[in-house]
Structure 1
Amino acid sequence: MEYFVEKYGIPGVIGCIDGTHIALQRPTENEHMFFNRKGYHSLNAMIICDHEYKILAVNSQYGGAAHDSFIWKHSDQRKYLEGQYRSSPSRSAWLLGDSGYPLEPWCITPYRSPGEGSSESTFNEVHSKARCVVERTIGILKGRWRILGYGKRGRYKPEKVARIANVCCALHNICITYNISYSPPSIRDDELDHTDLHHTEEASLLRAAQAIRNNIKNSICN
């Protein structure tokens, strides 16, 4: 939290979240579940990291057809953060995610279509700079372990590729801990659709998340 406050002026941040595709050869079962929007078969792995590029959580059990928001919605990490918020709404702890995730009190996302020069636009710029740590983390991970890299096609079944991804994340953290450096080029994933919230309880949580985001925006811009 201290890092994100000191560097970006954003309080309460415990990590950043993003999804990344791990390519596969065409599976023999449930092929449609692995065909992603970019036109190839993959797993869509959810990555949560801290400011030091350490991976705090990885979920690579879903096929490439699954949206980032869907994977997040069904993750243990979201359930935990939601539980923490519901037990103590005043507790300030959340992740930073891009527009592919729903705005929630435990996941802060950018404003949609802010006006040029507006405080919302300023917030989005700061948010983007802070959140790029997860893109950098994914870039280092895939650059170091080429079996996960862009353009590769794993010859194993999806379940084994998911286990390989988990092991690579653990090895990545070991490398970070012992300062084994690697600097791949920056890589960004395609933006995914935002999931609208319709139910009454979800709308209430959305308003709470909007209030949190507005407070952060005001603290940055004032």
Structure 2
Amino acid sequence: MEIRGFPDIIGCIDCTHIAIVAPKAEDLEMPGVIFYCRKQYYSLNVQIVCNAKLQILNINARFPGSVHDSAIWQASLVRRHLANEFSENRQQMTYLLGDSGYPLEPWLLTPIANPAINNEREYNRRHKLIRNVIERTNGVLKQRFRSCLKHRTLHYPSERAAKIIYSAAILHNLCIENGNNENVDEDVDVAERNVLRQGRNMRNRIVGNYC
């Protein structure tokens, strides 16, 4: 599959936090503190790979919220599979796109940190446009199954919460296959719309008056 000049792309990858109740602190193997994420709530850090149709190709909901995206990727079976494919056939160009939180690898392309020429800037522009699909996928999944939204919180132990997330991903794919989208990705909270609008107004004021 080719998208915006990127040949043989499989899809895009990113992690998203899904809130859970605070686990028991006395659990020696998985103490509650490791589920406390940088966004200051308890969560599972869920790795998702999706395609251009917003279908979830792979999902991993096993890791606590404090684990970094790149660490989840390093332990991923998807990474192992793509690395093996590359070692067996170095001419094969299948790969994923990920943000700058991931390491650059032949099977995982990331943005160029400091683009110096137009071609590099164009690469980054297209990379960002394509990668938007994973953010939309995460948003649609959470709007479709609102128990996955931050303010809803999954009130279950982490193992059961992970199973609920996997089930939601399967049902999400079935909805897409059956054409049941109904603009679910556009159904955002009114307050969030207002904050976004106000943010744009403030940014435009700075650009107009000070830049």
Q: Same fold, TM exceeding 0.5? A: yes
- Structure 1 distance, partners of 2:152, 2:123, is 36
2:17 maps to which residue?
A: 21
Q: CA separation in 2, counterparts of 1:44 and 1:105? A: 24
Q: Which residue of 2 aligns with 1:75?
A: 76
Report if the CA contact (8 A) 1:15-1:94 is conserved.
yes
Aligned ranges for residues 141-156 of structure 1 at < 5 Å? 141-156=141-156
Amino acid at match of 1:137: T
Shift of 1:119: 2.4
SS of the residue 2:128 aligns to: helix
- The code of the aligned residue for 2:53 comes to E
Cα deviation 1:63-94 (Å, max 9, x = unaligned) = 00011111111011100000000000110100
Match of 1:131 in 2: 131
Partner of 1:207: none
What's the counterpart of residue 111 of structure 1? 112
The alignment-based identity, stated in percent, is: 40
Is structure 2 residue 40 aligned with structure 1 residue 44? no
For the residue of structure 1 that corresponds to 2:106, the secondary structure is: coil
Question: Partner amino acid for 1:174?
Answer: L
Question: 2:184 is paired with a residue of what secondary structure?
Answer: coil
SS in structure 2 opposite 1:48?
strand
The 8 Å contact of residues 143 and 187 in structure 2, kept in 1 or not, is answered as: no
Instruction: Name segments (4+ residues, structure 1) moved above 3 Å.
Output: none
Structure 1's unaligned 5+ residue stretches are 188-222
TM-score (norm 1): 0.79
| Matches of 2:93 and 2:75, distance apart in 1 | 22
Please name the residue that 2:93 is paired with: 92
The answer as to whether partners of 1:15 and 1:49 remain within 8 angstroms in 2 is: yes
Aligned to 2:199: none
TM-score normalised by length of structure 2: 0.83
CA–CA distance in structure 2, aligned partners of residues 31 and 122 of structure 1:
44
CA distance in 1, matches of 2:40, 2:150: 13
CA contact (8 A) 1:139 1:186 kept: no
What is the CA distance between 1:22 and its match in structure 2? Answer: 0.5
Q: Give the counterpart letter for 2:8 in structure 1.
A: G
Q: Distance in 1 between matches of 2:151 and 2:115?
A: 34
The residue that corresponds to 1:183 in the other structure is 184
Contact 2:14 2:69 in 1 (8 A): yes
The aligned amino acid for 1:129 is L
Structure with more contact order per residue of length (Cα contacts < 8 Å, sep ≥ 6): 1
| Unaligned stretches of 5+ residues in structure 2 | 189-211
Contact 2:70 2:103 in 1 (8 A): yes
Mapped partners of 2:114, 2:139: distance in 1: 27
Offset, 1:151: 2.2
Aligned length: 182
